[in-house]
Amino acid sequence: MSKDAVLAMIKDEDIAYVDIRFTDPRGALQHVTMVADLVDEDFLEEGLMFDGSSIAGWKSIEASDMKLMPDTDSAYIDPFYAEKTLCLHCSVVEPDTGEAYERDPRGTAEKAEAYLKASGIGDASYFGPEAEFFIFDDVKYSVAPNKVSFEVDADHAAWNTDADFEMGNLGHRPTFKGGYFPVNPRDDGQDIRSEMLSTMKRIGMKVDKHHHEVATSQHELGLIFGSLTKQADELQKFKYIIHNVAHAYGRSATFMPKPIKGDNGSGMHVNMSIWKDGKPLFAGDKYADLSQEALYFIGGILTHAKALNAFTNPSTNSYKRLIPGFEAPVLRAYSARNRSGCVRIPWTESPKAKRVEARFPDPAANPYLCFSALLMAGLDGIKNKIDPGEAMDKNLYDLPPEELEGIPTVCGSLREAVEALKADHEFLLAGDVFTKSQIEGYLELKMDEVVAYEHTPHPVEYSLYYSC
């Protein structure tokens, strides 16, 4: 959408406000709302100044002035505000030079796409994330000096088979690990998921399906793939709509990877492909009808998997999911159709649909940084011809211990992921896509989270040690 088209839309649709949105390093969507009368061609060309020192992980107070540059192609009308509001996603630039701010996640995604073209390997990259989430009816938590606790509840959760409800307990609900694809009344999420998808369609998003997931109270909606930066924009809209539709129903959605004990966590499988001159680069005559470039791409992902974890699994909670036995891929192996490895090659008849699926990321990730890091790891594999080794066409969860010992794993904690990124980040610096300053700032944010987590007593410790 051109600047003129956006201005015409503001006039024709009688837009009252324009919401300027951007994403911080942790992946949270931020915004400032402008009166629509003030948004003209100059505004769209020159951007909006703001205080970058107020965003964690960005500038210090003595050099805090930054500029938000709206992307008119991202325009959509917010489906939740009472006053008619047009939304524009923004990248962040330095006000004096106009250059991309090196710590802006969206700017990193744009640079990753530009680097792919400059490399000559391909001219387009496509990403299809599959982000799972939970919906609860009641959420309580406390982090106080004398109380650390959480409690979530959902009327339809598996633990409520004997709960007392005012209108009675009708009994139809999925069991633990039994939530995959049941129809209503066992699946109580049909209407809320349909409204989420319908809301996405109304603002122009490309979606395809929805269903209940394996865990109790867990759900998934399908986003159709798109180019890297645009798809990261779409995932931010995806999360925003899910949170707000759930809120309108008096319910609460979360993208925490592991919000409850003893059931499956939420992943975000990321499907990736590269195209060049209108042709799919990953289609070929090698294993699973992949090209040699696709195998090298997988080699890069597996080689840098632990460093990638800092972006693809960026929370301490992420590693409550990345443990054996819960359909979470912890082993750095690849296979066609087999879902137990870190990387899967989905089956398809069409070369155009040939893609690689990274199964270890989760929806706590900042999508701009997650997708960019995955692309850079894969491109490093292609540039350096990294052999991924033999495919593992067996259920990795059932391997005997002696075979498991020979298969490397992803990280087991956020601290380990931070240390891995410190030791292995040169591949991210190619083409100045990521910068050392950006990575250092990001690692500081992650270590703050690690320290907060590690320094806080846990209720399990009371259970284990209080009476010793």
Annotated binding site for Mg(2+): 130, 132, 213, 220, 269, 357
Q: In 3D, which of 133, 122, 313, 116 has the Cα closest to residue 220?
A: 133
Residue type, 243: H
**Number of neighbouring beta carbons within 10 Å of residue 138:** 11
Whole-angstrom distance, CA of residue 373 vs CA of residue 97? 26
What are the DSSP E strand ranges found in 369-414?
none
State the binding site for ATP.
208, 339, 352
| Binding site feature residues | 130, 132, 208, 213, 220, 264-265, 269, 321, 327, 339, 352, 357, 359
- The residues that bridge with 136 in the sheet, in sequence order, are 252
Tokens standing for 48? 């909006």
Residues identified as active-site: 51, 130, 132, 213, 220, 269, 339, 357, 359
What are the residue ranges of helices labelled H in 175-227?
190-202
By three-state DSSP, how is residue 77 classified?
A: strand
58: which 2 tokens? 């960005």
Q: What DSSP element (H or E) covers 245?
A: helix 228-248
39 phi and psi angles, rounded to 5 deg: -95, 105
Q: Measure the CA–CA gap between 310 and 313, rounded to whole angstroms.
A: 6
CA pair distance 83, 34, nearest whole angstrom: 12
Give the Cα separation of 77 and 87 in Å (integer).
Answer: 6
